[in-house]
C-alpha cells in the first residue's frame, strides 16, 4: 500500500512539473498548473488517483501550513500601517462584491445558501499570486502596490473570520448553544493564545533559535499541535494552524521560520490543488456555462470597477486606481478552501466546487495577463477613466517643483540615480526627479529637491515634464518597454535632447540603441569595469586601498542616512 502511494505521488508530481513548466512559458501562476494536473490525473482522463485518503491528508497538512505562514505575516504591528485607503477599499470591495454577487446568484437560479457561498468566495483575491506578480514587476513599493497589499491583508483577515465561523458551527446547533458554547469557548482560546504568544513563546523560541533544525521542528510541531488541539475542541484545524502562526507573528524569528516553512507549505499545498482538480465534476457542468461566464466577467471587470470607484471617491488618480483595481480581478486560494469547506460540512455539492474552481482558473489566468500588461492597457483606457477621478488636487499627486523648464529630467532616484544627482549638482544644472516610490518623493520634498511622483510608463506624466526643452533625459528604470516609450516621447518633441536609459541585458541595450538612446547604462557591466579600474589603480599600494575603503565607507554611511531601504529598495523606479 505504501509503495503504491509512493509511485502514485511520483507520477502525479512528474505530471505537475510538466504542466507547471507550460504555465511558466505562458507566464501564468503555477496554481493553475496544479489544478490542471488534478484534472489530468482524475477519472475523466488518466484516472491515476486511487489513494484519495492519503492525498487528502497531505492536502489538509498543506492548508494548515499555508494558514500558518499567513498567520506569521499578520503581525498586529503592521496592521495599523495598512492605512485608511486600504481599510476602506478592502472592506468596501468585500461588501459590494458579496452583495452584488449574491443577487446575481439568485437571478441565475441558485439557492440562497449556495448564492451566499458563491458571493463570499468570489469576493476574495489571492494575496500570494498578487505579491508574486507585483514582485516580478518591481511594483511592491509603489503607491498602488502598497495599497493593493494593504486591502488584500484586510481581505485575508475577513476570510479568516468567515472560515472560523463556518468551520466551528455544527449542523443544527441552536443560537443559545452557539453563543455560550462556540463563541465563548473560542474567545477564551484566543485570550489564552494571546497570553502564550506574549509571555511564553518568546522564551521558547529564544532558547531553541540557536539550532536552525530545532527551530524548524518546533515550528512544525507548534503548528500541527495547535491545529490538532482545535480539532479536538470541535473547531477547524486550519484555524488552529492560522492562530499558531499569529502567536509567532511578533517573534524576531518569524522571517526565519517563514522562509523555512515555505518549501514545506508549497509541496503540500500543491497536493491540495491537485486533489481539488481531481475531484471536479464535469457531468453536468454544461448547464453552468452561462453562470461561469457571467461570474467570471463580474470578477474580471466588476471588481476592478468597485475598487476604482472607492479610490476615486478617496481622491486618488485614475492611474493608481486602475492599477490597484486590477489586483482584485481574480479569486483567491481561500475562495477554493471556503467552497471545499462548504462541501465538507454538507452545505454544497462537488458540482458547485467544480463551478467555482473553473471561475478561479479563468479569472486567475485573465487577471495575470491584465496585471503583467497593465502599463500597455492603461493608455488605451485612460481617456475613459476620468469619471473615476474627483476634481481638484489628488492625494497621490506628490510633488515639489516650480512650473519651469529643467535642464535634466531624471526618472528613478534610488541606487544609480543617487550618484547621478550628485554629479548634476556639481554641473550646476537644474534637475527634476520623477519617482514612483512615495517614500522617496516625501524625502525629496522634505529636502526641497524638485521632484514629482510619477511613472516613466505614464504618457500623461511625460507630457507634463517639459521634455521639449530639456537638455538631457535620464532613466534608471531597467524596463525595456518603459524606456522605449520614453525615447519615443522625447524624440517626438525634442530631437536635440540627450537620452540615457538603463538595461539589464545586452540584447535590451542594443534594442534601446536602435530606438535612439544616446547611452545605455548596464549596471552589471559598469560594476565590473569599475572594479577593473580599481585593480589597475591600486597596483599593490596599501595606502590607496585604505583611502578608497574609507571613502567607500563614508559614502555608504551617507546613503544609509537617507533611509533604511535606500539603496537596496527594489521599487519600480529604482
Residues 246-277 have pLDDT tens digits of: 888 877 788 788 888 888 888 888 888 888 78
pLDDT-derived band at 399 (thresholds 50, 70, 90) equals low
Alpha carbon distance 463, 465 (integer Å): 6
At 574 the pLDDT is: 36
Tell me what percent of the residues of the chain surpass a pLDDT of 70. Answer: 84
Q: Which three cell numbers stand for residue 555?
A: 559614502
At 392 the pLDDT is: 64
Query: Is the per-residue pLDDT at 359 higher than 80?
Result: yes
- What Å distances lie between residue 330 and 4, 152, 385, CA to CA? 37, 12, 21
pLDDT tens digits, 542-565: 677 777 777 777 766 766 665 534
**H-run or E-run covering 267:** helix 254-278
Alpha carbon distance 391, 124 (integer Å): 31
Alpha carbon distance 361, 5 (integer Å): 28
Alpha carbon distance 229, 222 (integer Å): 10
Mean pLDDT score, 367-376: 86
At 572 the pLDDT is: 37
Q: Cα torsion for 224, 228, 230, 233, to the nearest 10°?
A: -170
pLDDT-derived band at 342 (thresholds 50, 70, 90) equals confident
pLDDT-derived band at 326 (thresholds 50, 70, 90) equals very high
Alpha carbon distance 395, 372 (integer Å): 26
Residue 300 DSSP code: I
- What Å distances lie between residue 481 and 28, 475, 485, CA to CA? 20, 12, 6
At 175 the pLDDT is: 46
Alpha carbon distance 11, 23 (integer Å): 18
Greater confidence (128 vs 322) lies with 322
pLDDT-derived band at 220 (thresholds 50, 70, 90) equals very high
Q: Return the CATH number of the domain spanning residue range 2-170+185-387.
A: 1.20.1530.20
Alpha carbon distance 78, 159 (integer Å): 18
pLDDT tens digits, 122-143: 998 887 778 778 877 777 777 8
Greater confidence (176 vs 297) lies with 297
The tally of CA atoms less than 13 A away on the side-chain side of residue 161 is 7
At 176 the pLDDT is: 53
Cell 524625502, residue located: 443
The tally of CA atoms less than 13 A away on the side-chain side of residue 356 is 33
- The CATH homologous superfamily to which domain 399-561 belongs is NAD(P)-binding Rossmann-like Domain (3.40.50.720)
Q: Which of 4-13, 186-195, 205-214, 508-517 has the lowest mean pLDDT?
A: 186-195
Q: What is the CA angle 399-401-406, rounded to 5?
A: 125
pLDDT-derived band at 9 (thresholds 50, 70, 90) equals confident
DSSP string, 159-179: HHHHHHHHHH--TT--HHHII
Query: Is the per-residue pLDDT at 243 higher than 80?
Result: yes
Alpha carbon distance 266, 260 (integer Å): 11
At 50 the pLDDT is: 76
Residue 294 CB neighbours (<10 A): 14
Q: Where are the domains of the chain?
A: 2-170+185-387, 399-561
Q: Positive or negative, the Cα torsion across 394, 399, 400, 401?
A: negative
The tally of CA atoms less than 13 A away on the side-chain side of residue 46 is 15
Alpha carbon distance 440, 413 (integer Å): 8
Mean pLDDT score, 99-110: 93
Mean pLDDT score, 56-82: 72
Q: Which of 104-108, 199-203, 541-545 has the lowest mean pLDDT?
A: 541-545
pLDDT tens digits, 11-59: 889 999 999 899 888 888 888 888 888 888 887 788 887 777 888 888 8
99-113, 158-172, 221-235 — which one is most confidently predicted on average? 99-113
pLDDT tens digits, 467-500: 888 999 999 888 888 899 899 999 999 988 999 9
Q: Positive or negative, the Cα torsion across 30, 31, 36, 38?
A: positive
pLDDT-derived band at 397 (thresholds 50, 70, 90) equals low
CA 201 to chain centre: 29
CA 194 to chain centre: 28
Amino acid at each position: 500500500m505504501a509503495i503504491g502511494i509512493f509511485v502514485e505521488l511520483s507520477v502525479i508530481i512528474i505530471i505537475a512539473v510538466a504542466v507547471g513548466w507550460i504555465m511558466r512559458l505562458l507566464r501564468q501562476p503555477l496554481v493553475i498548473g496544479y489544478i490542471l494536473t488534478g484534472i489530468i490525473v482524475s477519472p475523466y482522463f488518466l484516472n491515476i488517483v486511487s489513494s484519495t485518503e492519503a492525498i487528502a491528508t497531505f492536502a489538509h497538512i498543506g492548508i494548515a501550513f499555508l494558514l500558518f505562514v499567513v498567520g506569521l505575516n499578520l503581525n498586529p504591528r503592521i496592521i495599523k500601517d495598512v492605512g485608511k485607503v486600504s481599510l476602506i477599499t478592502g472592506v468596501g470591495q468585500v461588501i459590494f462584491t458579496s452583495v452584488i454577487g449574491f443577487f446575481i446568484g439568485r437571478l441565475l437560479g441558485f439557492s440562497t445558501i449556495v448564492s451566499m457561498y458563491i458571493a463570499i468566495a468570489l469576493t476574495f483575491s489571492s494575496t500570494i499570486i498578487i505579491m508574486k506578480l507585483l514582485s516580478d514587476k518591481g511594483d511592491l513599493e509603489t503607491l498602488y502596490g502598497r495599497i493593493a497589499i494593504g486591502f488584500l491583508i484586510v481581505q485575508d483577515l475577513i476570510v479568516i473570520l468567515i472560515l472560523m465561523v463556518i468551520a466551528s458551527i455544527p449542523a443544527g446547533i441552536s443560537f443559545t448553544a452557539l453563543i455560550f458554547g462556540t463563541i465563548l469557548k473560542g474567545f477564551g482560546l484566543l485570550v489564552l493564545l494571546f497570553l502564550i504568544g506574549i509571555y511564553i513563546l518568546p522564551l521558547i523560541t529564544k532558547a531553541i533559535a540557536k539550532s536552525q533544525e530545532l527551530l524548524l521542528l518546533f515550528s512544525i510541531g507548534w503548528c500541527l499541535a495547535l491545529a490538532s488541539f482545535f480539532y479536538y475542541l470541535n473547531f477547524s484545524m486550519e484555524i488552529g494552524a492560522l492562530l499558531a502562526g499569529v502567536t509567532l507573528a511578533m517573534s524576531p524569528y518569524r522571517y526565519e521560520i517563514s522562509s523555512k516553512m515555505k518549501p514545506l507549505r508549497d509541496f503540500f499545498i500543491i497536493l491540495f490543488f491537485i486533489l481539488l482538480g481531481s475531484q471536479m465534476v464535469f457531468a453536468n457542468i454544461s448547464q453552468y456555462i452561462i453562470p461561469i461566464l457571467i461570474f467570471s466577467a463580474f470578477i474580471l471587470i466588476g471588481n476592478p470597477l468597485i475598487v476604482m470607484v472607492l479610490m476615486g471617491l478617496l481622491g486618488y488618480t485614475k492611474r493608481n486606481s486602475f492599477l490597484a483595481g486590477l489586483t482584485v480581478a481574480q479569486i483567491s486560494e481561500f475562495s477554493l478552501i471556503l467552497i471545499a469547506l462548504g462541501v465538507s460540512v454538507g452545505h454544497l455539492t462537488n458540482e458547485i466546487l467544480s463551478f467555482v474552481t473553473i471561475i478561479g482558473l479563468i479569472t486567475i489566468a485573465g487577471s495575470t495577463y491584465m496585471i503583467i500588461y497593465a502599463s500597455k492597457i492603461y493608455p488605451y483606457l485612460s481617456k475613459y477613466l476620468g469619471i473615476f477621478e474627483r476634481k481638484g488636487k489628488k492625494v497621490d499627486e506628490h510633488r515639489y517643483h516650480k512650473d519651469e523648464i529643467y535642464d535634466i529630467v531624471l526618472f528613478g532616484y534610488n541606487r544609480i540615480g543617487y550618484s547621478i544627482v550628485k554629479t548634476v549638482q556639481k554641473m550646476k544644472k537644474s534637475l527634476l526627479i520623477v519617482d514612483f516610490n512615495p517614500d522617496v518623493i516625501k524625502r525629496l520634498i522634505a529636502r526641497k529637491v524638485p521632484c514629482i511622483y510619477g511613472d516613466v510608463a505614464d504618457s500623461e506624466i511625460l507630457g507634463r515634464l517639459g521634455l521639449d526643452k530639456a537638455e538631457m533625459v535620464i532613466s534608471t528604470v531597467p524596463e525595456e518597454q518603459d524606456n522605449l516609450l520614453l525615447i519615443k516621447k522625447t524624440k517626438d518633441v525634442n530631437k536635440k535632447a540627450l537620452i540615457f536609459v538603463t538595461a539589464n541585458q545586452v540584447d535590451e541595450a542594443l534594442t534601446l540603441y536602435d530606438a535612439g538612446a544616446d547611452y545605455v547604462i548596464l549596471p552589471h557591466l559598469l560594476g565590473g569595469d569599475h572594479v577593473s579600474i580599481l585593480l589597475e589603480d591600486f597596483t599593490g599600494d596599501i595606502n590607496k586601498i585604505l583611502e578608497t575603503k574609507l571613502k567607500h565607507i563614508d559614502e555608504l554611511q551617507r546613503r544609509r542616512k537617507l533611509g533604511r531601504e535606500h539603496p537596496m529598495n527594489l521599487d519600480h523606479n529604482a
